[in-house]
Structure 1
Amino acid sequence: MIKRFFIVVLVLISIKITGQRNSSSPYSFFGIGEEVSRTTIEQASMGGIGVALKDIYHLNFINPAATADLRFATYGIGGELSLLNVSSETGSESNNTTSLRYIALGLPIGKKAGFMAGLQPVSNVGYALLSNTLGADDTVLDVTRFTGTGGTNRLFGAFGINVYKGLALGFEAGFVFGNIDNNTINQQADVALATKYERVATVRGGQFKLGAQYKYKYKDLDVIAGAALQLENDFSLSGRERIYSFSFAPSGREIPRDTLYDRGVSGKLSIPLKTIIGIGVGKENKWYAGVDYETQDAFENEGNLIQGSSYRFDSSNRFSIGGYYIPKLNSISSYWDRITYRAGLRFEDTGLLVDGTGTGNNFTSITDFGINLGFGLPLPKQISNLNIGLEYGQKGSTANNLIKESYFNIRLSLSLNGRNWLEKRQID
């Protein structure tokens, strides 16, 4: 039943994942969009930890070595509702978006290994910004509107194996793809025609990750150390850009006039090595507490397809702390004792620096932090569960003519466990 349900959902939503608008953040204007955290809903509810987390029931997107611990066919589907408030020194605005976070399947291979495959967003683009130039008497001289849609996604597969007592190793490979559409419209006062700059870029690239976990017993506790390396890779970007003038029809439709240029463009975005390390301690199926630290050097760009004079990239880092607690996993008398309670904190320097003054020499680092809570609700007569995650966070600031985001994310996922497809049926 679970297998049939997952296949139906996979067919329905895999068609839509590449076309949905997943972001309304102004910061998705920069680069190839706002990066999407590559965590499950369960991991996000613990502040994003997971490099040192072992779990036989749930998927792990941070460390492919954790795939070795799967003991059931595990299906994961996650989605998010984001309530966003954007504020500047002059005002504020609210918006919301819904998005699919991932669909994935994990399978054990024998008693020592496991495999996982899935589809999830990598970056999201979804912004609409308006800028006015005022004269000496506060009359509007021109209006510029910036809009963008699209993003990138990845198809990935991961393999993990327990190679020695307590030591697991893993490998992950992924293919990143997507399209990004950016538009800038400028209308000047007392000028009949508006001018539009339009650029459509296609993004392609591969990604590879290595992972390791080591667990050892200290008295009655499990102490786990983990590390993951996302190897250096390049994204190729190709597309077209054009500038043309146009007028508006009474219906609001654009009527193109003269084209200034229409040409092909190309570029390359180099993604440096990303290192994630962490440690955790706990008791299996009872409680766990861990910390993760992630660091990455600055992105490098060849060609002028994504880099702008108002922003640049620097090294990024993230610190996460969190864990879970289960009062009594096999409780018969109390449903509440079988719930998994999760919590965590996340502090992040995104690596994006933005100059809101337009001078080119007053860059401000964009930081992000989140406070997380979550609940894993067991489904009746199954070892599967419905996961609910809540996050409150803030990104950016209003200093130097920038924008501050305050957001509240509501996340839902299904983690469904069933019989392993790779095991032979046994008949008594």
Structure 2
Amino acid sequence: MRRFTIGCCLLLAAGQVQAQKGVNSIYSAFGIGDLEEKDYSRNFGVGSAGVARGSHSFLNELNPASYGRLPMETFFFEASLAGKSLQYNGTNLNQNAGDINFKRFAMGFKASKMWGLSLGLMPYSRVDYKLLNTRYVEGTTAGTRNAVEGTGGINRLYFSNALQLNKNFSVGVSSALLFGPITTTDSLGSSGSATDVYTEQRRFMHNFNFTTGAQYAGKAGQWLIGAGATYRFRTKLASEEDFSIRYADETVLFEEELSSRDFTLPQQWAVGLSFSNGRINWLADYRQQNWKGANADKQDYSFVNSQRYSGGMEYTFYKFQYNKQVEGLIVQAGLNYHTAYMQIKNEPVRDFGVTAGASLPSKTGHLRYYLGLEAGQRGTSSKGLIQENYINVVLHLSLRDNWFFKLREQ
């Protein structure tokens, strides 16, 4: 029992598995969990596209170069929450689950005419699942309840800087600390007795990661054309691991510190385009991460290169406030298609979503409320696997104030 496969055989035996309330995704049982491929800011409703977009009116971490276009004398503070509803479909399986999670906290401002910066915290990956199964002791016909539960994930604490080189070009770099625990428990017995036994494996992962970016913005007739590109460097996540066997009352039967295992995050690159006439904004992104060969394949799944296509349209209604034209209601629609960084039983994990969003300012204009919606499908129910039908709801709040301007007037 020193090492165990976290839910892999249970996932493949879908007829015996039940998803529980509060579960994010059964697919988070693999690798380092579900990677956060979506952007939970004002980019959400356009398919999470925005590599070519400057941070004129919100903080855009999809490209660190965007902070070079932050407005002067303005401070931004942003926070995001997301709720998710899931329906699992598989062989003899039809279950629902749901949860609500923090997705983003960020602040940013223009430190000088050329230099913009942002500091934030967001999830990089998430592990959150619970699977029930029946195990049989060799030589007996009596089944014993077995529960496998995974929690935790990797967090991303970042500090991004950008320089606006001239009116057309900006460059930036995001320095991030990736850190977080992943805990897997495997329990036997359901009597509620203190003698029920479970195993627990804790793995704490950490390292620094860097992303560079560049953006261009120029005019072609009545249209503002934007282009952007990012490159995220390869990183090896170091880990500290321990394994224990315990009774339900936390009495330790066995405890051992395991040898550390690195997990490689391969390099990632992305490109994006945008076209805007002031009211209509078209956005499109492509992202690729070369996972194949980065880590050793497992018996139940293997690593493959991941790709993401996203795009959408945004329409802005303007209004006058204090004799100045400002953004009013903003509506969005978009699409995204993603192939995950793993395949299970030689089946790729595909994710397709349709998005919509709306942003509305407060009466003073300093606070903007954003609501994003997404309906999508991930995975497949063939080969004994599980298909997820999901709905995401995002609430994003953006506070914008002229703090530095007020300080200079005093």
Q: What's the TM-score bracket when you normalise by the shorter of the two chains?
A: 0.7 to 0.9
Q: Select 2:380's aligned residue among 397, 403, 409.
A: 397
Alpha-carbon deviations, 1:172-208, whole Å to 9, x = none? 10001111110123459xxxx8663320010101110
Q: Secondary structure at the match of 1:328?
A: strand
Q: Which amino acid is 1:46 matched to?
A: V
Q: Percent identity?
A: 24
Unaligned ranges ≥5, structure 2 = 1-20
CA deviation map 1:113-138 (0-9, x unaligned): 21100111111111111233689xxx
Partner residue, 1:87: 89
Does the 8 A contact of 1:106 with 1:117 survive in 2? Answer: yes
* Residue in 1 that maps onto 2:313: 323
1:34 aligns with 2:34: yes
Counterparts in 2 of 1:176-191, with a 5 A limit?
Answer: 176-186=178-188
Is this contact kept in 2: 1:331–1:338, CA < 8 A? Answer: no
Match of 1:369 in 2: 352
Give the TM-score, by structure 1 length. Answer: 0.82
Q: CA RMSD in A?
A: 2.9
Given the two structures, how large is their TM-score scaled by the length of structure 2?
0.85
**CA shift in 2, pair 1:424/1:301, >3 Å:** same
Q: Classify the secondary structure of the residue corresponding to 1:196.
A: strand
Counterpart residue number, 2:78: 76
Deviation string for 1:350-404 (max 9, x for gaps)? 121113xxxxxxx211111111110001110224310000111111111111111
Q: SS at 1:110's partner residue?
A: coil
Query: What one-letter code is carried by the residue in structure 2 that aligns with 1:201?
Result: R
- Measured in 1, the distance between the counterparts of 2:367 and 2:396 equals 11
Counterpart of 1:376, as a letter, is S
SS at match of 1:45: helix
Give 1:32 shift. 1.5
Verify the 8 A CA contact 1:73 1:419 in the aligned structure 2. Answer: yes
Question: Relative to structure 2, which stretch is displaced further, 307-316 or 367-376?
Answer: 307-316
Q: Which residue of 1 aligns with 2:114?
A: 112
In structure 2, how many angstroms separate the alpha carbons of the residues matched to 1:180 and 1:161? 36
SS of the residue corresponding to residue 400 of structure 1 reads helix
Q: Tell whether the 8 Å contact from 2:22 to 2:98 is kept in structure 1 after alignment.
A: no
CA contact (8 A) 2:265 2:294 kept: no
Q: CA distance change for structure 1 residues 149 and 201 in 2, over 3 Å: closer, same or farther?
A: same
The separation in 1 between residues aligned to 2:372 and 2:253, in whole angstroms, is: 51
SS class of match (2:42): helix
Q: Partner amino acid for 1:262?
A: E
Q: 1:240: how far off?
A: 0.3
Query: Which residue type is aligned with residue 47 of structure 2?
Result: G
Give me the whole-angstrom Cα distance separating, in 1, the residues matched to 2:200 and 2:293. Answer: 23
> How many corresponding residue pairs?
382
Q: Which residue of 1 aligns with 2:155?
A: 153
What aligned pairs does 1:102-251 form with structure 2 within 5 A after superposition?
102-132=104-134, 141-186=143-188, 196-243=198-245, 246=247
Matched, 1:416 2:399: yes
SS in 2 for 1:37: coil
Distance in 2 of aligned mates of 1:299 and 1:198? 29
Contact 1:40 1:61 in 2 (8 A): no
User: 1:60 maps to which residue?
Assistant: 60
- 2:22–2:97 contact (8 Å) kept in structure 1: no
Amino acid at match of 2:54: K
Residues 294-333 of structure 1, C-alpha deviations (whole Å, 9 max, x = no match): 001116667x9xx642112111000001131013243899
Counterpart-to-counterpart distance in 2, 1:108 and 1:256: 54
Q: Distance between the aligned counterparts of 2:38 and 2:294, measured in 1?
A: 23
Equivalent in the alignment of 1:288: 281
Whole-Å Cα distance in 1 between the matches of residues 344 and 362 of structure 2?
A: 46
Q: Which residue of 2 aligns with 1:297?
A: 290
Per the alignment, residue 17 of structure 2 pairs with none
Alignment partner of 1:407 out of 380, 387, 390: 390
Note the C-alpha offset of 1:154.
1.4
